Amino acid sequence: MPSASRRSVLMGIAFKAPFTWRVSIRTASNPASISPRCNHCDKGPRAAFERLVVVAIDEKVAALLIAGDLFDGQVRSARTAAFLAGQLSRLREAGILVYLIKGNHDAESPVTGAVDMPDNVHVFTARGGKHQLSDEVWIHGVSFKDRHEPNSLLDRFDAPVAGAINIAMLHTSLAGAPGHDPYAPCTVAELSAMGFDYWALGHVHLRQIHATTPWIVMPGTPQGRDIGEAGRKSATMLTIQDGRIEIEEVPTSGVTFEHRTIVLGADVETDDEIRAAMRDTIMNAAEACQDPAGVIRLHMTGAPERHWQILRDRDVWTETAREIARETGRLWLDKLVLDLAAPDAARDAGSALSELGTLMGDVRGEEAFASDTEATLGAVLGAVPAEVRARVAPDEEAARAFAARCAAAGAEMVRARLGGVGR
């Protein structure tokens, strides 16, 4: 329990505790292709954790709650253990308690048991339990015992303490979330019926407030790890005053991942015009970026007259975009996606190129070709992590659609290689 002076402040003014989802302090948050260029990206997850610690100390919070997946799976790093111990000790020196539950990644991580936690850290077990933070506040939590938790964990929670504010910590995918395997499934209605005042959830990367009576909050990840986790990331500050709960979002990310779109009209005729459009888009992204660094994925769309040439010279335009981003001093290019259409398909009707396009379209429509394409794609997706696979092809229908898009893109590239010659 906090000291008497801390309790008097908590009871008389406010209790604050920043809730965070996942602080994967081992794994870099960016693709390998950009890490040599982006120092912020390489240190992103650890820097986000340090920001949480700074916020906690500056705001003089009573506790920091971490709702699972502090570690990133099967990693073995003494450096990670030392980093964590140092940050937790900073909180201890400031008189701040830390409450931790283990998620699916913690359950498989050898580092979890290797860190000698300072005495200000309370780790809830898989049996569940509660801990009194102050005279009026109790923290409840249940950890994962194993890597997979296919069943609900709600029956492991103690009943809320009567006459107190009860905060419950749970690592869960709720009733299901895109890009996430099911873990400790439960519904918002089931959580609401448990009698707790606040549910501090973990597991899903996207911030979402599911309910306000009681509060059911999935704060998301404090640092995006790739372009699939776009936008500025944060933790959630909870304040209790006179028995009422208020929350606010606290930015924590040092790197923002963003999508930006360049639309090319049919009247775009020169390379200079394309470069100008690209520069405007990237510079606007740099100006809008609120974090120290940003990673952008550019999507080029439209039906420009030079459609085939742009597709043919994809590598040139990618390097052009990369160089412009580098000039900003704070942006890095993830990739350039070309989603261009021919301005006038009728113009090429009857040409050899048009006939080739028709032939490739007929082949793509054959059942045997589609089956082969889907099998090849399935083999590739089988080698990637489950969360990536779920994002690309969450079910058989999505996998078939993705295979069809890949085949269409390949045919388009063949036409671009031929159609761009001499133009």
Q: What 3 state SS string does 57-110 have?
A: HHCCCCEEEEECCCCCCCCCCHHHHHHHHHHHHHHHHCCCEEEEECCHHHHHCC
Domains of the chain: 4-251 (3.60.21.10), 256-419 (no CATH)
How far apart, in whole angstroms, are the C-alpha atoms of residue 155 and residue 159?
A: 10
pLDDT per position as a tens digit, 210-235: 999 999 999 888 888 888 888 889 99
Burial tier of 142 (Cβ tally within 10 Å: 0-12, 13-18, 19+): buried
The reported pLDDT for the residue numbered 403 is 83
Between 17-26, 71-80, 165-174, 241-250, the lowest mean confidence (pLDDT) is in 17-26
More confident call, 149 vs 171 = 171
Residue 119: enclosing H or E segment and its boundaries? none
Classified as helix, coil or strand, 138 is strand
Q: How many CB atoms lie within 10 A of CB 105?
A: 24
What interhelical angle do 78-93 and 44-58 show, nearest 10? 10
Contact predicate 402/393, CB 8 Å? yes
* Confidence band, pLDDT 50/70/90 cuts, at residue 254: confident
Please give the structure tokens belonging to residue 369: 């070709």
CA angle in degrees (0–180, nearest 5) for 357-361-367: 160
Residues 378-393: tens digit of each pLDDT: 888 888 777 777 777 8
- For residue 291, the SS3 value is coil
**Do 103 and 109 meet the contact criterion of CB atoms below 8 Å apart?**
no
Q: What does each C-alpha distance from 373 to 194, 211, 316, 380, 401 come to in angstroms?
A: 48, 43, 28, 11, 11
* pLDDT at position 139: 95
Measured distance CA(196)–CA(194) in Å, rounded: 6
Q: What is the pTM for the complete model shown? A: 0.74
Name the most confidently modeled range: 31-40, 179-188, 228-237: 228-237
pLDDT band at 409 (very low <50, low <70, confident <90, very high): confident
Element (H, E) at 123: strand 121-123
The answer, yes or no, to whether the previous bond of 214 is cis (omega within 30 of 0) is yes
In the chain, pLDDT over 70 holds for what percent of residues? Answer: 79
**Distance (Å, rounded) from C-alpha 335 to C-alpha 140?**
44
Positive or negative: CA dihedral 181, 186, 188, 191: negative
| Most distant CA atoms of the chain, gap in Å | 87
Examine the pLDDT at 407 and tell me if it is beyond 60: yes
For residue 39, the model assigns a pLDDT of 58
Residue 111 in tokens? 């580092």
Q: How many CB atoms lie within 10 A of CB 396?
A: 10
Beta strands in 214-305 (DSSP E): 215-218, 234-241, 244-251, 255-264, 293-302
Convert the pLDDT of each residue in 319-350 to its tens digit: 999 999 999 999 999 999 998 887 665 455 55
Better-predicted residue by pLDDT, 389 or 13: 389
At 13 the pLDDT is 33
**407, 373 Cβ separation under 8 angstroms:** yes
Distance separating alpha carbons of residues 355 and 169, to the nearest angstrom: 62
Cα distances (Å, whole numbers) of residue 210 to 30, 192, 216, 219, 222? 29, 10, 5, 10, 18
